Amino acid sequence: MRGKAITKRQIKPDPKYNRLDIAKLINYIMRRGKKTTAQKIVYKAFDIISERSKQDPFEIYHKALRNVGPSLEIRGRRIGGANYQIPFPVADNRRQTLTFRWLITAAKARRGKTMAEALALEMLDAAQGEGAAVKKREDTSRMAEANKAFAHFARFTKRKK
Protein backbone atom coordinates (compact mmCIF):
# COMPACT_ATOMS: atom_id res chain seq x y z
CA MET A 1 0.00 0.00 0.00
CA ARG A 2 1.44 3.32 -1.03
CA GLY A 3 0.98 6.45 1.03
CA LYS A 4 -1.39 6.74 3.92
CA ALA A 5 -4.88 5.37 4.14
CA ILE A 6 -7.71 7.69 3.11
CA THR A 7 -9.92 8.76 5.99
CA LYS A 8 -13.67 8.40 5.47
CA ARG A 9 -15.40 11.77 5.44
CA GLN A 10 -18.29 12.26 7.80
CA ILE A 11 -21.26 13.89 6.09
CA LYS A 12 -23.72 16.14 7.87
CA PRO A 13 -27.37 15.13 8.19
CA ASP A 14 -29.86 16.83 5.89
CA PRO A 15 -31.30 20.13 7.16
CA LYS A 16 -35.02 19.30 6.97
CA TYR A 17 -35.26 15.82 8.51
CA ASN A 18 -31.84 15.69 10.24
CA ARG A 19 -31.09 12.20 8.88
CA LEU A 20 -27.85 10.82 7.43
CA ASP A 21 -29.44 8.41 4.95
CA ILE A 22 -31.49 11.22 3.37
CA ALA A 23 -28.30 13.33 3.17
CA LYS A 24 -26.56 10.49 1.32
CA LEU A 25 -29.48 10.18 -1.11
CA ILE A 26 -29.27 13.94 -1.72
CA ASN A 27 -25.53 13.65 -2.37
CA TYR A 28 -26.11 10.86 -4.90
CA ILE A 29 -28.71 12.91 -6.75
CA MET A 30 -26.54 16.05 -6.70
CA ARG A 31 -24.89 17.07 -9.98
CA ARG A 32 -22.22 19.74 -10.45
CA GLY A 33 -22.28 20.68 -6.76
CA LYS A 34 -25.89 21.92 -6.82
CA LYS A 35 -26.94 20.58 -3.45
CA THR A 36 -29.97 22.85 -2.98
CA THR A 37 -31.42 21.60 -6.27
CA ALA A 38 -30.88 18.00 -5.15
CA GLN A 39 -32.51 18.77 -1.79
CA LYS A 40 -35.55 20.25 -3.54
CA ILE A 41 -35.86 17.11 -5.67
CA VAL A 42 -35.74 14.74 -2.67
CA TYR A 43 -38.06 16.81 -0.47
CA LYS A 44 -40.56 17.25 -3.31
CA ALA A 45 -40.41 13.47 -3.90
CA PHE A 46 -41.30 12.87 -0.23
CA ASP A 47 -44.20 15.34 -0.54
CA ILE A 48 -45.48 13.53 -3.64
CA ILE A 49 -45.19 10.16 -1.84
CA SER A 50 -47.24 11.44 1.10
CA GLU A 51 -49.87 12.92 -1.27
CA ARG A 52 -50.25 9.79 -3.42
CA SER A 53 -50.07 7.09 -0.76
CA LYS A 54 -51.62 8.95 2.20
CA GLN A 55 -48.94 7.26 4.35
CA ASP A 56 -45.77 8.33 6.11
CA PRO A 57 -43.19 8.93 3.33
CA PHE A 58 -40.39 7.46 5.50
CA GLU A 59 -42.28 4.20 5.82
CA ILE A 60 -42.54 3.97 2.01
CA TYR A 61 -38.88 5.04 1.68
CA HIS A 62 -37.65 2.32 4.06
CA LYS A 63 -39.84 -0.33 2.44
CA ALA A 64 -38.43 0.69 -0.96
CA LEU A 65 -34.85 0.49 0.33
CA ARG A 66 -35.49 -2.99 1.77
CA ASN A 67 -37.03 -4.20 -1.50
CA VAL A 68 -34.25 -2.81 -3.72
CA GLY A 69 -31.19 -3.59 -1.57
CA PRO A 70 -29.30 -6.70 -2.80
CA SER A 71 -28.02 -9.41 -0.46
CA LEU A 72 -25.66 -11.01 -3.02
CA GLU A 73 -23.70 -9.60 -5.93
CA ILE A 74 -21.35 -11.18 -8.43
CA ARG A 75 -17.78 -10.16 -9.08
CA GLY A 76 -15.59 -11.34 -11.90
CA ARG A 77 -12.46 -13.22 -10.90
CA ARG A 78 -9.72 -14.68 -13.08
CA ILE A 79 -8.64 -18.13 -11.93
CA GLY A 80 -6.37 -20.37 -13.99
CA GLY A 81 -6.94 -18.50 -17.25
CA ALA A 82 -10.72 -18.51 -16.97
CA ASN A 83 -13.01 -15.76 -15.76
CA TYR A 84 -15.65 -16.78 -13.22
CA GLN A 85 -18.60 -14.81 -11.93
CA ILE A 86 -18.41 -15.40 -8.19
CA PRO A 87 -21.28 -14.50 -5.82
CA PHE A 88 -20.29 -12.45 -2.76
CA PRO A 89 -22.40 -11.17 0.13
CA VAL A 90 -22.96 -7.41 0.00
CA ALA A 91 -21.73 -5.20 2.87
CA ASP A 92 -24.21 -2.74 4.39
CA ASN A 93 -22.61 0.43 3.00
CA ARG A 94 -22.30 -1.15 -0.46
CA ARG A 95 -25.96 -2.26 -0.26
CA GLN A 96 -27.01 1.33 0.45
CA THR A 97 -24.85 2.62 -2.41
CA LEU A 98 -26.29 0.12 -4.89
CA THR A 99 -29.84 0.78 -3.69
CA PHE A 100 -29.52 4.53 -4.20
CA ARG A 101 -27.79 4.05 -7.56
CA TRP A 102 -30.48 1.69 -8.86
CA LEU A 103 -33.35 3.89 -7.61
CA ILE A 104 -31.88 7.02 -9.20
CA THR A 105 -31.07 5.25 -12.49
CA ALA A 106 -34.60 3.82 -12.67
CA ALA A 107 -36.07 7.26 -11.90
CA LYS A 108 -33.96 8.88 -14.63
CA ALA A 109 -35.18 6.28 -17.11
CA ARG A 110 -38.78 7.42 -16.58
CA ARG A 111 -39.22 9.96 -19.34
CA GLY A 112 -41.72 12.80 -19.41
CA LYS A 113 -41.71 13.49 -15.67
CA THR A 114 -39.71 15.75 -13.39
CA MET A 115 -36.97 14.04 -11.39
CA ALA A 116 -38.94 14.51 -8.16
CA GLU A 117 -42.04 12.86 -9.63
CA ALA A 118 -40.02 10.04 -11.17
CA LEU A 119 -38.15 9.39 -7.91
CA ALA A 120 -41.41 9.38 -5.93
CA LEU A 121 -43.07 6.98 -8.38
CA GLU A 122 -40.05 4.68 -8.39
CA MET A 123 -40.01 4.59 -4.56
CA LEU A 124 -43.75 3.86 -4.49
CA ASP A 125 -43.28 1.05 -7.02
CA ALA A 126 -40.27 -0.32 -5.14
CA ALA A 127 -42.21 -0.32 -1.87
CA GLN A 128 -44.80 -2.54 -3.57
CA GLY A 129 -42.09 -4.84 -4.98
CA GLU A 130 -42.37 -3.57 -8.57
CA GLY A 131 -40.45 -1.21 -10.79
CA ALA A 132 -37.13 -1.15 -12.60
CA ALA A 133 -34.99 -0.93 -9.45
CA VAL A 134 -36.56 -4.07 -7.96
CA LYS A 135 -36.14 -5.82 -11.31
CA LYS A 136 -32.44 -4.94 -11.24
CA ARG A 137 -32.13 -6.47 -7.76
CA GLU A 138 -33.92 -9.61 -8.89
CA ASP A 139 -31.67 -9.92 -11.95
CA THR A 140 -28.57 -9.56 -9.78
CA SER A 141 -29.77 -12.18 -7.28
CA ARG A 142 -30.73 -14.52 -10.15
CA MET A 143 -27.22 -14.20 -11.60
CA ALA A 144 -25.69 -14.89 -8.18
CA GLU A 145 -27.94 -17.93 -7.75
CA ALA A 146 -26.99 -19.24 -11.19
CA ASN A 147 -23.28 -18.94 -10.38
CA LYS A 148 -23.57 -20.48 -6.91
CA ALA A 149 -21.40 -23.36 -8.11
CA PHE A 150 -18.41 -21.01 -8.21
CA ALA A 151 -18.91 -19.73 -4.65
CA HIS A 152 -16.06 -21.91 -3.39
CA PHE A 153 -13.64 -19.67 -5.34
CA ALA A 154 -14.53 -16.78 -3.03
CA ARG A 155 -12.52 -18.40 -0.23
CA PHE A 156 -9.25 -18.18 -2.08
CA THR A 157 -7.49 -14.87 -1.70
CA LYS A 158 -4.86 -13.61 -4.06
CA ARG A 159 -1.32 -14.41 -3.00
CA LYS A 160 1.09 -11.54 -2.52
CA LYS A 161 4.18 -11.56 -4.70
The yes or no reply on domain 53-154 and CATH 3.30.200.20 is no
For the stretch 48-83, pLDDT in tens is 999 999 999 999 999 999 999 998 888 888 888 888
Instruction: Measure Cα distances from 108 to 68, 119, 139 in Å.
Output: 16, 8, 19
For the stretch 117-151, pLDDT in tens is 999 999 999 999 999 999 999 998 888 887 777 77
Mean pLDDT of 27-44: 96
- Domain ranges for the chain: 53-154
Q: Are 60 and 48 in contact (CB under 8 A)?
A: no
For the stretch 9-32, pLDDT in tens is 899 999 999 999 999 999 999 999
The amino acid that residue 17 corresponds to is Y
140 vs 72: CA distance, rounded Å: 7
Q: Are 64 and 129 in contact (CB under 8 A)?
A: no
Q: Are 57 and 65 in contact (CB under 8 A)?
A: no
HEC profile of 37-85: HHHHHHHHHHHHHHHHHCCCHHHHHHHHHHHHCCCEEEEEEEECCEEEE
Terminus-to-terminus CA distance in the chain, angstroms? 13
Q: Can you give the pTM of this predicted structure?
A: 0.86
